[in-house]
Structure 1
């Protein structure tokens, strides 16, 4: 059965760079010393599968020459001041605009990579907003409802507050300004500065950027080639990347509700990184819930433009939306 998804609020777990827990070093064949094929050798099983995933990875030319984003096209610029309601609105794409949104396409823009750049066609502010906005709060007045007053001008309202929202649990975020700029985006060629429409949203105290690159200039990652055969029991895969800070990589493992001894693992080479983890599965019954468990590993060198692949599927991981 396919597991349904839930968030698991467990503490971060750390492991030193490599592909086995402290005290078990993999030999040249990929097996970890100190194990004999049983539960103690789960790190060795991870190493073998990670090496197979890396060997099967064959990206096309677009991976190194084109624009292939590895995160969603909506990016936060600045540190948002979320409330539970505005966080829900951001994740759901609930917006209302109080400014004119030009429907004219601007001239070409430039995606700037750590090494090199690419000229790309852009979309209009109106199209970017249509892609950004996914609807209205379900049980609350929508953006065109007269129950939602327009946002006051900056400095207006009680205590100089900017923006307004309907009463209740659901809100729509207010766009009070839009301009063409750039936003940081994780790509197959490393961290890039990408043309983006910048929407000012007073309710969260940050700018919501929507990548302005036209669809025809956005390439897609190649299809993954997972290793043949099922994974060893106790191996779990990575779902996405939460953050990249120098040589620190934070990602989320997909684990079961009753799994224990959750251990993140990383297999690192100069051209590719494979991540996943191991668990001790339950011996009795359990639900079918898939939980996202935060994990952290320290790489031997900063990530750079290296792909991060999931040990189970072989898929390149994307950076999770804010």
Structure 2
């Protein structure tokens, strides 16, 4: 398991990101408590795996279109200046042209490994608003001068797929900025409810599945009075169940600051993810994938 640099946030912000209380993260206790917590979390993970494996929810997941990575693609060679990179990260765009106001309502998702699916498409204006994040200008900014329908490759829960995409022309760039136009499939209803009273906390975000699928990177939550996050994994034929917790809780006599930290954790797997669903043990739902520059399903 590999852990990347963390960032801090207030207790209030952490609560907004996770329904679990910080007490489960920054609490204090000894080895006996830790062993008991591990057993409880392992039991919950097995329960979640049994619920998902062979379920109608798992079957629906496997036939749907669920992006598992970024659904926007930069112009060939990337953005050339720091100002342009900042504008893209801040969703700061200016429209200096006309976008198509008509287009096909549906498009075909074609998986490289075989299979296809017809899904509803977002229009050029709607896709532009996703890129711009509702912002209408500012400095620095990227200038969009037009768009046309094309295609791009997207990482999904069923492997890489070629999907319809809006190709936005950027002032100063010879190749377009691509934005997937396909609206993701709705999430299936989980076959198991959320856990209450189970140690640890839900995972905040699925960052990426590595090329080849032999590891997953997630955003985990931990507190100021521990030695960082731990993400345990239970692999079955049909699911990858992840359980977030912390290691080495510190007993400081009750003087822990009420502060939480988000940290990226990479978890190695025994075999590639494939079409297995990556599930959070606490919520019983797929770990939310939230691409910063594109649409994602409702993970609530």
**Aligned residue number for residue 158 of structure 2:** 189
- Give the aligned CA root-mean-square deviation in angstroms: 3.5
* CA apart distance, 1:109: 2.5
TM-score by length of 2: 0.70
* CA apart distance, 1:201: 4.3
The 4+ residue runs of structure 1 with deviation greater than 4 A are: 77-88, 200-207
Structure 2 counterpart of 1:312, from 282, 285, 293: 282
CA contact (8 A) 2:99 2:146 kept: no
When residues 251 and 204 of structure 1 are mapped into structure 2, their CA distance, relative to the original with a 3 A threshold, is farther
Which blocks of at least 5 consecutive residues in structure 2 are unaligned?
A: 1-9, 16-30, 293-300
> Number of residue pairs matched?
258
The residue matched to 1:129 in structure 2 has which SS? helix
* CA apart distance, 1:61: 5.1
Which blocks of at least 5 consecutive residues in structure 1 are unaligned?
A: 7-35, 144-165
For 2:243 and 2:170, locate their aligned partners in 1 and report how far apart those are by CA, in whole Å.
36
**Aligned residue number for residue 49 of structure 2:** 54
For 1:203 and 1:276, locate their aligned partners in 2 and report how far apart those are by CA, in whole Å.
46
When residues 227 and 52 of structure 1 are mapped into structure 2, their CA distance, relative to the original with a 3 A threshold, is farther
TM-score by length of 1: 0.66
Deviates more, 1:94-103 or 1:243-252: 94-103
CA contact (8 A) 2:145 2:169 kept: yes
When residues 244 and 301 of structure 1 are mapped into structure 2, their CA distance, relative to the original with a 3 A threshold, is same
**Aligned residue number for residue 281 of structure 1:** 249
Question: Which of the pair is proportionally richer in helix?
Answer: 2
User: Which structure: larger Rg?
Assistant: 1
When residues 219 and 259 of structure 1 are mapped into structure 2, their CA distance, relative to the original with a 3 A threshold, is same
Structure 2 counterpart of 1:97, from 95, 98, 121: 95
**Aligned residue number for residue 114 of structure 2:** 115
For 1:207 and 1:287, locate their aligned partners in 2 and report how far apart those are by CA, in whole Å.
48
CA contact (8 A) 2:91 2:133 kept: yes
For 1:197 and 1:109, locate their aligned partners in 2 and report how far apart those are by CA, in whole Å.
12
Confirm whether residue 4 of structure 1 aligns to residue 13 of structure 2: yes
When residues 83 and 243 of structure 1 are mapped into structure 2, their CA distance, relative to the original with a 3 A threshold, is farther
